[in-house]
Amino acid sequence: QVQLVESGGGLVQPGGSLRLSCAASGLLFGSYIMGWYRQTPGKQREMVARIIPAGSTNYADSVKGRFTISRDNAKKTVYLQMISLNSEDTAVYYCNAVVLPAVYWGQGTQVTVAS
């Protein structure tokens, strides 16, 4: 059974930082494209960052230069380091694992940026 378990969310002040983690189990982690998505009420889930098995990354324009995705294949964990957070980053953040046709999602972790 595949499980993606996110952690590291919480309340942070504008300008602050957080690091999200996603621990995976039940899959061949090193073969999967791993990603972080986020969603706010009434909006579609949007891609934040993705990292392929070889390590190349891509980011949404809104987070470029502020967020960094990384992966540790030995630990089966993907990370999202977030700096210079602002209120528009407030959302539920979801971990995603893809090797088509398989797509898996975590349960999400809330990130709230507020003073």
Structure confidence by residue, pLDDT tens digits, 14-29 = 999 999 999 999 999 9
pLDDT at 8: 98
Structure confidence by residue, pLDDT tens digits, 87-107 = 999 999 999 999 999 999 999
pLDDT at 79: 98
CA distances (Å), 29 to each of 25, 49, 75, in order? 8, 17, 9
Lowest mean pLDDT among 60-64, 81-85, 99-103: 99-103
d(CA 52, CA 59): 12
